[in-house]
Amino acid sequence: MAQPLNIALFGAAGRMGREVVATVRESPGFRLVAAVARAGSDGVGNDIGAIASGVPLGLALSSDPEAAAKAADVLVDFSTPAGFTVALEAARRAACAFVSGTTGLDASHRAALQAAAGDIPVFHAANMSFGMAVLNRLTGDAAHMLSDDFDVEIVEMHHRYKKDAPSGSALHLGETIAAARGTTLRKSATYGRRGEGARSAGSIGFASLRGGDVAGDHTVIFAGDGERLELTFRAGSRRIFANGALRAAGWLATQPAGLYSMGDMINALK
């Protein structure tokens, strides 16, 4: 039997991190070899299995990124933009593959990802679920097929704790539409609306709702005269993101250095 893939997890004590811990535990092809939290945060030194699901795993939550990356085949990151930077640097130094689902990244983070891709395989997805990747593909197809007369609005809803808005997935959908229309989000995005003024032609509108424990809903609306096309994906639980991250880790471990996305993984499956 093939050896399990060694996973180091960044942001392990967070909501997504705990879900990944539970998913790895149930996945024979993967083994958790390191769980990392920010230095000084609660729980460092305690068993990550107990933190995640109340059942000890025999692995302590650490605050040592370098040791974690050295022990791993793939470093998986669900943390914060600052944590992402630390994780990416550690993965690059240890020459281990890097999968990140952290959102709220800016141009400097993306440049760092691109630079690291010269040395190691790196994978970033603002939404790790397979259904969301399909929504993105369908959105691109619809934007190609429908004329610019169709106004585009993207509506997303997430749980009350989410810090960034719009969601990384909503922005990714917007980028897909902008690319299909030969423009950029920088030129075409409108974030939220308040007060007076008509919609500007060609704009891509974003609306963000927050509340409850919603794992993640995204709807893309193409509104024409007399007709409206709506594409919706609803995430039922965080487990789908953890499953997707492990699927990406397994796939990435077989890839050469480079920058990869969910779209690349889907295309490789065909």
Residues with a known catalytic role:
158, 162
Closest alpha carbon to 133 in 265, 269, 38, 258: 265
User: CA-to-CA distance for 203 and 185, rounded, in angstroms?
Assistant: 9
| 86 is a site residue for ligand NAD (CB under 6 A) | yes
Nearest approach in angstroms of CB 27 to ligand NAD is 17
| 252 is a site residue for ligand NAD (CB under 6 A) | no
For ligand NAD, which stretch binds (CB under 6 A), given 51-59, 73-81, 199-207, 255-263? 73-81
| 102 is a site residue for ligand NAD (CB under 6 A) | yes
| 52 is a site residue for ligand NAD (CB under 6 A) | no
The dihedral over CA atoms of 133, 77, 89, 107, expressed in degrees to the nearest 10, equals 50
At 220, is the secondary structure helix, strand, or coil? Answer: strand
| 249 is a site residue for ligand NAD (CB under 6 A) | no
Phi, psi of 234 (to 5 degrees): -120, 125
Q: Are 115 and 230 in contact (CB under 8 A)?
A: no
Nearest approach in angstroms of CB 182 to ligand NAD is 28
Nearest approach in angstroms of CB 18 to ligand NAD is 8
Nearer CB in complex with ligand NAD: 40/256: 40
Nearest approach in angstroms of CB 159 to ligand NAD is 8
| 260 is a site residue for ligand NAD (CB under 6 A) | no
* Cα diameter, the chain: 65
| 233 is a site residue for ligand NAD (CB under 6 A) | no
Radius of gyration of the chain (CA): 19
For the chain, the residue count is 270
Determine the size of the site formed for ligand NAD (CB under 6 A): 26
Burial class (CB in 10 A: 0-12, 13-18, 19+), 2: exposed
For ligand NAD, which stretch binds (CB under 6 A), given 8-16, 22-30, 143-151, 186-194? 8-16
Nearer CB in complex with ligand NAD: 151/235: 235
The dihedral over CA atoms of 238, 55, 84, 168, expressed in degrees to the nearest 10, equals 10
- Please identify which residue in 101, 121, 174, 250 interacts with ligand NAD, judged by CB under 6 A: 101
Q: Are strands 228-235 and 216-223 parallel, antiparallel or unpaired?
A: antiparallel
**Contact set for ligand NAD, span 111-170 (CB under 6 A):** 125-128
Q: Are 116 and 91 in contact (CB under 8 A)?
A: yes
Question: What residues make contact with ligand NAD under the rule CB under 6 A?
Answer: 10-11, 13-17, 36-38, 41, 78-80, 82-83, 86, 101-104, 125-128, 241
